[in-house]
Amino acid sequence: MENREFWFVVGSQFLYGPEVLEIVDKRAAEMTEALNASGNLPYKLVYKVTAKTNQEIADVVKEANYNDNCCGIITWCHTFSPSKMWINGFVNLQKPYCHLATQYNLEIPNEEIDMDFMNLNQAAHGDREHGFIAARLRMPRKVIAGYWKDESVQKRLGAWMRTAVGVAVSRKLKVMRFGDNMREVAVTEGDKVEVQAKLGWQVNTWAVGDLVKVMNAVTEEEIDALVAEYKANYDIATDNMEAIRYQAKEEIAMKKMMDAEGCKAFANTFQDLYGMEQLPGLASQHLMAQGYGYGGEGDWKVSAMTAIMKAMGENGNGASGFMEDYTYHLVPGQQYSLGAHMLEVCPSLAGNKPRIETHFLGIGMNEKDPARLVFEGKEGDAIVVSLIDMGGRLRLICQDIHCVKPIMPMPNLPVARVMWQAMPNLTTGVECWITAGGAHHTVLSYDVTAEQMKDWANIMGIEYVHIGKDTTVEGLEQQLFLNDLAWKLQ
């Protein structure tokens, strides 16, 4: 993993004299050290400067913009920092920005409080002056308020860091397309130029024939090594080792091509398997397990979002994967969605050890039965996310869900499956999702939150729609109507 870090920039001014500035500097360093030691920040915090002048702020912003390791800045005003000093820096800031509105002391010290204490500990009004200028400049930002030693504050800061890493990953993301989108499908289309300008994605195509050439050059030794890895991670529930070896060959070839181009996401389609015997199933699943994004039917948008949301998760490769809404259980009192795909569900979603199985697949030109991982999704709160192109703008839709252990075994279903309760409930949730135009393909994530996706969308400058426990169809329709007007003015 790259050396990702975040910069702590503290605001002050010369008004208080050198002794106060020395204390501020010492405390900022102490806070940075304690935050790093807390275990609640997933990335390193680096204390850069207590800034007193316009020039110091402009300089640290310029450095942050050009430093590839720096994924964002976190600011705080221990004392009062007149915010006109921040304008020249802030108008040029290209990295994610979080304002931590905190203070060094937990309590107001009853006996000790005097004007010296007040001059040194002014965050309550210093942070307001600081907040005004970001509001005035219409900057995308995260505001986190609370005591810096408080675990919940530290965890929120940690979650924001992961969001900012999602921004860094997005801005450098390359997507490899094998073949075009599935014929006639609308929602998987999109403006690649707009997406590159807004989100940074480089989305390009490679011929399936080129992939087949790379597959044909894969050696038996390479396949042996990957099959050994499959055996170490999954139960083999088929005698068809030939199919497993074929998937290994596909995986090795796709990985070689992606790594040679620096791609972290890919899409393919069952309609274009020219020269391949099987649709990659196990191959795509095991690539997702390693952090690569994937989208079926040529869906490069969901593939890119999968890669980004994986990078936002635990250890930079979290429990997020490509998902598709398949069918509903509409029995009153037990209403569930069943999600799956024809093969490609990421094992990071698994609640049990995945089994490798081979089955006939009627969709697409599969000459042979493809091997795939079969498992049940784990229980827990999660989200499903869909990025759609509205024509002129991108809309990110995020719905809260609660995944359950599937309520029936479904022994004849030959693919991995996840079952969930949608918020606010199944039917209202479906009405909201369809009203917003959400796709049948999503990224399902257990460790990225709706708040993180909102922050990510804000930083990227795209529309965000959230469907949660309090959402109503009427309220959502009103929001979408107003969003439409607002986005036309942009």
Q: Which residues bind Mn ion (CB under 5 A)?
A: 296-297, 324
Are residues 78 and 122 in contact, defined by beta-carbon separation less than 8 angstroms? yes
- Shortest CB 440 distance to Mn ion, Å: 7
Q: Residue ranges for the binding site?
A: 297, 324, 341, 441
- Shortest CB 321 distance to Mn ion, Å: 13
> Based on CB atoms, which residue is closest to Mn ion, 40 or 188?
188
- Shortest CB 155 distance to Mn ion, Å: 35
Position with the least CB separation from Mn ion: 296
> Based on CB atoms, which residue is closest to Mn ion, 127 or 324?
324
Backbone angles phi, psi at 271, to 5 degrees: -80, -5
- Shortest CB 270 distance to Mn ion, Å: 9
Tokens, residue 338: 């069943």
Dihedral, CA of residue 118, residue 123, residue 129 and residue 133, to nearest 10: 160
Under 8 Å CB-to-CB from 93, ≥6 apart: which residues?
Answer: 61, 64, 65, 73, 139
> Based on CB atoms, which residue is closest to Mn ion, 272 or 324?
324
- Shortest CB 202 distance to Mn ion, Å: 23
> Based on CB atoms, which residue is closest to Mn ion, 28 or 388?
388
DSSP strand E in 332-370: where? 334-340, 355-358
Q: Which of 100, 45, 46 is nearest to 78 (CA)?
A: 100
> Based on CB atoms, which residue is closest to Mn ion, 160 or 322?
322
Rounded (to 5) percent helix, strand, coil in the chain: 40, 25, 35
Distance of alpha carbon 135 from alpha carbon 132, whole angstroms:
5
Helix residue ranges per DSSP H, 218-264? 220-233, 241-261
> Based on CB atoms, which residue is closest to Mn ion, 442 or 449?
442
Q: Residue ranges for the binding site for Mn(2+)?
A: 297, 324, 341, 441
Burial class of residue 149 (count of CB atoms within 10 Å of its CB; 0-12, 13-18, 19+):
middle
- Shortest CB 174 distance to Mn ion, Å: 22
Tokens, residue 53: 């002048």
Omega before 332 within 30 of 0, i.e. cis? no
